[in-house]
Amino acid sequence: MYSAAAAEIAAEIGLAKGKANLEVFASTMEEMAASDRDVVTVVSDSRGSGKLAPFGKAYPDQLVEVGIAEQNLVGVSAGLASAGKKVFAVSPSCFLTARSLEQIKNDVAYSDNPVTLVGISSGVSYGALGTTHHSLHDFAALRAINNLIVVCPADNYEAEQSVRAAAALEKPIFIRFGKAPLYSLGKESEQAFEFGKARLIREGNDLAFIATGEAVIHALLAAEKLKRDEGLEARVLSVHSLKPFDSEAVLSAARECKAIVTVEEHMVNGGLGEACAATILEAGISACAFRRVGIPDEYTVTGSQADIFRHYGISMEGLAETAKALLSKAQ
């Protein structure tokens, strides 16, 4: 996921390499299930890819297997939730949010059943399996559904906190996880996790990177590179909640910074970038230069997640170059 130069900078600024968020999800589920028999997982032949095999062995009565039947997965989960269970429905995001969209809309959100929909192997995590297995539509589709919280954690801290918050909140929620091991972004003790509140990772007023999910670490490394190479101070925001959306954090960045670069592992249509653009435009702010970085409206190139990220500029080097070019136009 990282170039040698990016890994070196991460080490120099003291970032600790963590686990994949999926592993944190699975271990958190085991901890919660140990003290609460109402915690239940429903899987669609996905306990292995969802890292839930140990959960199934430890708590066989708290795991339901429906097989490769994502629509049934959501329907069964909604039924269990209506009976008082704290349900986590786990399936690859590309299938969960496409095959089961009607069930998500009606059985979960419209019926206000407190199901936590867990999209695993999200974004381009499936790499060379290609466009059929990539979930680059999920933000766009799910943001358009009323009464559904949409969350994309950026590190292990955000992953654990989002799972625990979902179990406590008992509302319809979608949480998106990828496969890659992630660096800790730090500052956990300074900001309490809350749905709808962006996490300020780095201060700066020359420009702002507003990012979500596994793209946030690349924005943070780009900010450090810009500081070292150009003397620029870049703000970095982790927008773990696409819905509810922290409009105030985005507007503060637009008012206080010369430029904004949004970064997401999602098609540029309908995702974080468009949410930020609409927020800024509706507030009447026009002085801030703006650029979306994500997957363009095309079938992705073939390669690993790291290959795809580099190709589309979702990397320390690519984001630093994008930011410099945007700032040069803004001046």
pLDDT at 331: 67
- Which tens digits make up the pLDDT trace of 21-67? 999 999 999 999 999 999 999 999 888 888 899 999 999 999 999 99
| SS3 of the chain | CCCHHHHHHHHHCCCCEEEEHHHHHHHHHHHHHHHCCCEEEEECCCCCCCCCHHHHHHCHHHEEECCCCHHHHHHHHHHHHHCCCEEEEEEEHHHHHHHCHHHHHHHHHHCCCCEEEEEECCECCCHHHCHHHCECCHHHHHHCCCCCEEECCCCHHHHHHHHHHHHHHCCCEEEECCCCEEECCCCCCCCCCCCCCCEEEECCCCEEEEECHHHHHHHHHHHHHHHHHHCCCEEEEECCEEECCCHHHHHHHHHHCCEEEEEEEEECCCCHHHHHHHHHHHCCCCCCEEEEEEECCCCCCCCCHHHHHHHCCCCHHHHHHHHHHHHHHHC
pLDDT at 47: 87
pLDDT attached to residue 186: 84
Residue 82's pLDDT band, with cuts at 50, 70 and 90, is: very high
Predicted model pTM: 0.96
